[in-house]
């Protein structure tokens, strides 16, 4: 990279750490450290909620998803506005009126200590594993840019974030999130502008979208009802509703955000900000991936953006087979490029039949390219023994470092840093809060001073940072990172949501009913994941329904 890009990245990292520490207030008080004194304005909390969810996974995994599958992933977010409305009138007032530090404290008030402890423990496991995936996403970028190991890049990302989170608390996390959202959105808009101007002179934005549409990359509605299909209208409105209600309503990384708001009404407004803006923002991210597809249609691109095995395959015993695949891929790409050019030319002529023929031919050539890449992917996995080999997470990093102009490379990588740091800091804060409040203060030292709990929280932040970094090294090769993090979450979210449904909606539920129901929910999700091919989004529904059904049954059989 150019020294200018390095300077931009260095200035950004120093600024974030310094600014986070500068904004620390009441850092020795428990409520000041964990909840910013419940004094933050709704718009700052809303931006922090969005920044926490818009991680580097979104910048890397979702852009790669857009390149490979188009806008189809947008269906995943259709239930978000409804989830935010439901939470605004249910759990938000419950948590604020209960004056809790964590969502799981409320479960002890409603049920008992064991239900609170088990639910909080499940949160710690799920969130720390997901945090590892969040860290691994920018590690992929830097490993491509710098040629360093994933381990070194993970530490480069996690350590600065852990520093200002440990010492700054939630107040520092929130205000740095606000600035990071500006950097993220600016980086995405810059990427769109560069991609549009990099297209051929006769291919404008309208033509690019028509080409993408001909390849099926603009499909945003799939009404087929198939429980094995991850992204359909039904999974995005039914199954994802359970996921979002659990994530935004019961996950401490999100609950802690709106507990910092000054009032119930401001907490509601902070959630509704995501309801209004999350889908357009996600569409912008996917649009970057779609435009990269069109860009590489006219600009020769590699068969694989992940180069980790390329040298060994070219020089190994199966070099001839790999070369043959590359030849087939190049021929298929050339045929698709010619079909794309013909499609652009057909759109300039008022000939409906010719346009239809050109679109059909282009779709067929694109299917051939997909088929060859699929064969090549299977070949690499079989020849190297690397069953986790993937390509989608490397598309955007490769484009940034190869085609972006000087200065914008630094801006885009800084945007990826911003996306990573906003999520990492929020999740580290929530992990340390749950550790200290739900376990250390509850069971070990219930009567210590605030300063003591804050010191222990800083140690807990460091521990979870190290743990998540270890997970990140493993998670970097698991496939599409945006799917990996949602797969992790879906294993736990439905069951946790089920406990809160029992707590809020069914006043006759007993403590034993909730506890046994939670265990039954986790068991049902494990069975669905291991023994069926049901898409992971539906695991949220399975877990929640199982918890509620078993919890109500046990409560009826063994009432108070």
User: What does the pLDDT average to over 5-9?
Assistant: 85
CATH of the domain at 216: 1.20.1730.10
pLDDT in tens, 169-215: 788 788 888 888 888 888 889 889 999 998 888 888 888 888 988 88
40 forms bridges with which residues in the sheet? Answer: 261
pLDDT in tens, 57-66: 778 878 888 8
Per the domain annotation, does 303 fall within a domain? no
Which residue from 274, 275, 241, 289 is spatially nearest to 72, judged by alpha carbons?
289
Q: Rg (Cα) of the chain, in Å, rounded?
A: 24
Looking up tokens 């759109």 gives 347
Q: For residue 145, what pLDDT band results from cuts at 50, 70 and 90?
A: low
Please, what's the b/e burial string for 435-468 (b: 16 or more CB within 10 A of its CB; e: otherwise)?
bbbbbbbbeeeeeeeeeebbebbbebbbebbebb
Check residue 522 and give its pLDDT: 94
Which residue, 389, 416, 447, sits at the end of a domain?
389
DSSP 163-174: HHHHHHHHHHHH
Residue 487 and residue 360 share a domain: no
Residue 153 has a CB neighbour count (10 Å cut-off) of: 25
Check residue 559 and give its pLDDT: 76
Q: For residue 547, what pLDDT band results from cuts at 50, 70 and 90?
A: very high
pTM exceeds cut of 0.85: no
261 forms bridges with which residues in the sheet? Answer: 40
Residue 166 and residue 25 share a domain: yes
Per the domain annotation, does 20 fall within a domain? yes
Higher pLDDT, 556 or 9: 556
Say yes or no to pLDDT of 1 above 80: no
DSSP 354-372: HHHHHHHHHHHHHHHHHHH
Residue 341 and residue 242 share a domain: no
Say yes or no to pLDDT of 380 above 90: no
Q: What's CA 289's distance to the chain center, in Å?
A: 15
Residue 262, Cβ density class (10 Å: 0-12 exposed, 13-18 middle, ≥19 buried) = middle
Dihedral in degrees, nearest 10, Cα atoms 268, 271, 274, 276: -20
In this predicted structure, which of 94-98, 146-150, 184-188, 436-440 has the lowest mean pLDDT? Answer: 146-150
Residue 433 and residue 359 share a domain: no
359's CB contacts (< 8 A; 6+ apart) are: 214, 343, 346
Say yes or no to pLDDT of 271 above 70: yes
Joined tokens for residue 2: 């150019």
**Residues 536/494, Cβ–Cβ less than 8 Å:** no
| Cα angle value 460/152/482 (rounded, 5°) | 75
Per the domain annotation, does 536 fall within a domain? yes
Residue 110 and residue 198 share a domain: yes
6's CB contacts (< 8 A; 6+ apart) are: 410
Check residue 484 and give its pLDDT: 62
pLDDT in tens, 301-340: 888 887 777 888 888 888 898 899 999 999 999 999 999 8
Check residue 477 and give its pLDDT: 57
Per the domain annotation, does 11 fall within a domain? yes
Per the domain annotation, does 184 fall within a domain? yes
Residue 367 and residue 505 share a domain: no
Check residue 441 and give its pLDDT: 94
Owning domain of residue 536: 3-297+398-557
Which residue from 102, 136, 135 is spatially nearest to 117, judged by alpha carbons?
102
Residue 438 and residue 412 share a domain: yes
Looking at the 3D structure of the chain, how many domains does it have? Answer: 2
Give whichever of 136-140, 341-345, 482-486 has the largest mean pLDDT: 341-345
Quick one: DSSP state of residue 228? T
Residue 426 and residue 321 share a domain: no
Which residue from 285, 286, 50, 303 is spatially nearest to 181, judged by alpha carbons?
50
Check residue 23 and give its pLDDT: 65
Q: Where would I find the H helices in 299-351?
A: 310-315, 319-347
Per the domain annotation, does 306 fall within a domain? no
Cα dist from 266 to 135, 182, 272, 418, whole Å: 31, 21, 10, 25
Residue 322 and residue 284 share a domain: no
Say yes or no to pLDDT of 165 above 80: yes
Check residue 560 and give its pLDDT: 65
User: What does the pLDDT average to over 233-260?
Assistant: 86
Which residue, 359, 389, 419, sits at the end of a domain?
389
Whole-number Å distance between alpha carbons of 28 and 25: 8
Check residue 478 and give its pLDDT: 55
**Residues 176/23, Cβ–Cβ less than 8 Å:** yes
Return the H-helix or E-strand segment holding 530: helix 511-531
Joined tokens for residue 60: 């890397």
**Residues 70/217, Cβ–Cβ less than 8 Å:** yes
Positive/negative CA dihedral, 299, 300, 303, 306: negative
Per the domain annotation, does 86 fall within a domain? yes
Which residue, 389, 419, 437, sits at the end of a domain?
389
Say yes or no to pLDDT of 26 above 80: no
Higher pLDDT, 67 or 155: 67
Q: What is the mean pLDDT of the chain?
A: 85
């Amino acid at each position: 990279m150019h020294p200018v890009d390095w300077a931009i990245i260095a200035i950004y990292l120093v600024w974030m750490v310094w600014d986070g520490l500068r904004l620390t207030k009441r850092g020795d008080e428990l409520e000041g450290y964990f909840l910013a004194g419940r004094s933050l304005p709704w718009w700052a909390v809303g931006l922090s909620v969005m920044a926490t969810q818009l991680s580097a996974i979104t910048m890397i995994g979702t852009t790669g998803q857009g390149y490979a599958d188009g806008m189809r992933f947008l269906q995943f977010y259709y239930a978000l506005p409804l989830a935010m409305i439901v939470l605004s009138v249910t759990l938000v007032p419950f948590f604020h009126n209960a004056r809790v530090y964590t969502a799981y404290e409320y479960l002890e008030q409603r049920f008992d200590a064991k239900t609170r402890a088990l639910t909080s423990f499940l949160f710690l496991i799920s969130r720390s594993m997901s945090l590892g995936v969040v860290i691994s996403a920018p590690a992929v970028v830097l490993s491509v840019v710098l040629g360093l190991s994933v381990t070194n890049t993970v530490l480069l990302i996690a350590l600065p974030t852990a520093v200002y989170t440990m010492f700054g608390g939630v107040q520092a996390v929130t205000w740095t999130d606000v600035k990071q959202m500006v950097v993220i959105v600016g980086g995405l808009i810059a990427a769109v502008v560069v991609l549009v101007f990099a297209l051929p002179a006769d291919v404008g934005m309208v033509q690019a979208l028509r080409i993408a549409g001909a390849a099926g990359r603009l499909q945003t509605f799939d009404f087929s009802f198939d429980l094995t299909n991850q992204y359909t209208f039904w999974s995005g409105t039914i199954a994802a509703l359970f996921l979002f209600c659990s994530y935004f309503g019961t996950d401490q990384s999100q609950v802690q955000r709106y507990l910092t708001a000054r009032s119930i009404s401001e907490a509601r407004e902070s959630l509704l900000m995501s309801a209004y803006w999350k889908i357009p923002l996600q569409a912008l991210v996917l649009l970057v991936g779609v435009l990269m597809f069109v860009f590489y249609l006219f600009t020769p691109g590699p068969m694989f953006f992940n180069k980790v095995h390329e040298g060994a395959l070219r020089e190994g015993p199966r070099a001839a087979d790999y070369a043959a695949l590359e030849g087939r891929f190049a021929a298929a790409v050339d045929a698709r490029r010619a079909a794309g050019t013909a499609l652009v030319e057909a759109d300039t002529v008022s000939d409906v039949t010719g346009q239809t023929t050109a679109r059909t031919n282009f779709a067929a050539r694109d299917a051939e390219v997909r088929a060859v890449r699929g064969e090549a992917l299977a070949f690499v996995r079989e020849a190297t023994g690397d069953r986790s080999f993937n390509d989608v997470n490397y598309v955007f990093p490769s484009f940034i470092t190869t085609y972006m102009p000087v200065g914008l490379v630094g801006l885009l990588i800084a945007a990826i840093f911003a996306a990573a740091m906003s999520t990492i800091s929020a999740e580290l804060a929530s992990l340390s809060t749950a550790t200290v409040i739900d376990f250390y203060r509850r069971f070990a030292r219930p009567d210590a001073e605030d300063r003591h709990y804050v010191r222990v929280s800083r140690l807990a932040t460091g521990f979870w940072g190290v743990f998540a970094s270890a997970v990140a090294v493993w998670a970097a090769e698991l496939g599409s990172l945006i799917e990996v993090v949602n797969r992790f979450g879906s294993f736990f979210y439905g069951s946790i949501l089920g406990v809160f449904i029992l707590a809020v909606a069914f006043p006759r539920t007993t403590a034993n009913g909730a506890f046994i129901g939670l265990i039954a929910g986790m068991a049902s999700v494990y069975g669905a994941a291991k023994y069926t091919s049901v898409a992971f989004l539906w695991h949220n529904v399975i877990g929640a329904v199982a918890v509620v059904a078993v919890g109500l049954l046990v409560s009826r059989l063994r009432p108070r």
